[in-house]
Chain A
Amino acid sequence: MATGGTRGMRLLGGRIPYIDGPLKVTGQAEYTDDIRRPGMLVGRLLRSPWAHARIVSVDTSAARALPGVAAVLTGEKYPTPFGVLPITRDETAIAVGKTRYIGDIVAAVAAVDERTAERALELVRVDVEPLPEYTDPRMGVEKVAEPIHARGLLGTNIQKEVVQHFGDVDVAFARATHRVRVHGRFAGVTHAFTEPLVTIAEATADGRLTVYSATQVPHYLHRALSEVLGIPMHRIRVIKPEVGGGFGGKSDPLPHEIVCAALSIETGRPVKMLLDREDVFYTNHGRHPTDNEVRIATDAEGRILAYDIDALIDGGAWSSFGTVTTYYNGVLAMGPYRIPNFRYRGRRVYTNKPPSGAMRAHGGTNLRYSIEVGLDEIAEATKLDPFDLRTRNALPPNSTTINDFRITSTSFLKCLAAARERSGWDSKFRKLPYGRGVGLGCGFYISGSNSPIHFKPVMPQSTVHLKVDMDGGIAVHSMQADIGQGSNTLLAAIVAEVLGVDLERVHVQRVDSDVSPIDIGSYSSRVTFMMGNAARRAAEDLKAQLLRAASHRTGHPVEQLEVAYERIQVRHRPEVGVTFMEALHAAMERAGALTATGAYSSPPMGGSFKGARAGTAPAYSFGAYVAEVAVDPETGLYRAEKMWAAFDCGRPLNRLAVEGQVEGSIHMALGQVMGESMNYRGARLLNPSLLEYKIPTPAQMPEIEVLLVGDDDPEGPFGAKEAGEGPLIAALPAMGNAIYDAVGVRCYELPITPDRIVRGIEDRRKEGRAWKGA
């Protein structure tokens, strides 16, 4: 049962159990791998064991001759490059000309069963000439003998360079009283969603192609399929079944999706391409390994005067979202504090490794860690409490940042106050015994990218269609992608709230490009804000139709009518009115089934300089987290005991879901802090399994107190902002700063492994610098 909403609302603001919960707890929810089509073939991929090599020849004759093999594909057949960003299309479905990382796809097979497909792959003969390998981005910033891509900047492997300067950073540093420099080093991490990547494609005799895929962004997949396969979009149907988690890892159109479709076209039969876990690790698109240098200047009172930031970002073999990543690693420094002077150089460099891409809190995480650790150092140097330092620098509401970000609502000060009070900070900070500590970290994130990636043709970022027929069920169509975050539930709840009907009347339809109007999908923390506004408008449209009909029936003008539970009634005479069904049937007399549309486009914003749109969003989320840790100084082993997570998502529309996002974000953040790391020896990924790439288990999770303190956002639906990605960010620096409070060791490198803590403790002892008396 949903519990009541807030501020006069029946549902929104309360705790609304996910509408797909019953299907998920019974195993009845249908994921792509659960679907079977008649005569379905098995697709398999041959991956490159070479990091960088010119392909001399690929001999597929023996594989083709194997009984049971229906098709063998190599790169030449579909060489059209694609990529999630139209400006950096540099991937091909299957390698053309050369392989760029261990795991690159060099051939694909469709066969009658798994074993035949695997055997066929063994029969493919690939002849290559090795090329120089570039596995460290530092190797790629100068001119190289064999650039990984021809499009690298001036013969280097630099995929994107961003240089920005606002104000005068050198002058600010010259007059500063305090300066810190943090050199942060961050291993790559990956999404580790539980459902492996999987696609089914079915080319049929009517010249159409149907693709079921585990994707966060059905629309971008739809476009990429059309471009690479040369089939008009209207002849391709993309269906998104239930998706078992994404976190950014299912947001690019991925090569296996296109290869699967190509194999179906080749064979005329349905093909399933299920990637095994190892394949998923090689597909990656996870958080970029990054080196950043963050310099912060403040005055004697701890007011921030300037940031000077340099980031070197390891892109791996493809561009993916990399241009956005390169901007975000600088511009997402623009909150939650006022920054009067700002300089940034970011370089994303291709390497011969699995591609990096977008992962939850994309571009904002590693940067934020270095900034917040640096601010902790400033607080210590200025003898300010870390909370006071941040309070003093908070970005005010309704302001503009120096790079022209429009800030509307912010409840950052309320986040700080709530985290400070609930955590008992003032009685703990620097006061807990040696080995225990508390740390503060803060966060800031976009609530939906203002710029859709594909802006041609001009269209809203989200559209929602409603249809209601005489049965009184409301069908909701939209291409928004529920990947577990509960967007279907929110969509249904918004419609039910506006119309006053029971939630059970609302049926959110599976994403199907034949019937779902376009929403650009689950990335950049955009769905609640954009889809929510579109859904509200669609429901308001439908409500207006019902009110007009009720007005005819009751003889009272529309202005006097209001919606109540399953009813439309006269505002001050609630006994006079009609039921929802009566109003519906009255409205249908002339028009038949009712339909309504709502759409959302973000308002124009951002400056006019190059790259000005990067990081602009119709709203921003804010957070302040306190972590309490216990560190064993002998072994360096530590655990998070408790996390107080104060977050400003505007008004939380479904508290159950927002809490779930915060708790899940903390899990993912703790993974990156406590041990997740894509480990390489040269170009070879050493840990492509969940056994060796360890995500936190239930035993490693702290107690979490979620504090939702946001005020209503003026433009968000019912006052809401994002809660999908921003809640991750503050948890990482809170941990780093808590470890410092516990044992006096600064950690500039993630993951924070116990040996690094022990080494830091030993260094302190050698230098005679006691900490908390130890």
Chain B
Amino acid sequence: MNISLIVPCFVDQFYPQAGLDAVKVLERLGMIVNFPTAQTCCGQPAFNSGYWNEARAVARHQMAVFRDAGAVVILSGSCGAMVKVFYPELFQGQPEEAEAKTLAAKTYEFSDFLVNKLGVLDVGAQFSARVTFHDGCHGLRELGLKDPPRQLLRHVRGLELVEMKEAETCCGFGGTFAVKFPMISTAMAEVKCKSAIETRASVIVSNDSSCLMQIRGLLDRQQYPIKTLHLAEVLART
């Protein structure tokens, strides 16, 4: 199957390994991966800040880039929610509504694609570690992806998955919220990290690098010896 990959802008710049590993996993499963280099950002920062016209301008660009794509795989629940849930809302009653809905329907978050589109649970990965999974809120609540990442992790050889008490609690990132209200955002991250540490896991895994940027940021500052990895980085290990 030919697929087009969306690598979120901050993953492109800060966490390219997650993107490379996603390609590795998809190719291992026989996918022909295409990365249209004209892609930029999904427009979520403008949308969440209330600048819907500006968000529409960016969304129109992304929709044009992926107009002729087959299945689109996106490496973030949050950017995935932007495309799948909020593009159709942004263009409701506008000429681009149909196109927004078409892109939404053919776009899959990474774990969603593997589990629900390809029907794959075991990607042949091996990773010996005690791992806890953090649900990005958009993936969890906008896209309803509670199970797929966990199903994938449970099939990784050597991996022990332990649930943290606050697995579904927001890490406090929230895009511009993290810098507009840093004190609240940090307090939320503290709750999250404390809960992850209580599991005695050595790695926090998530399908959203933005959450991991927040969690990693606090863990580093408070010098906690616990690693963070994107789901794709775990699934790529053999």
Is B a genuine binding partner of A?
no
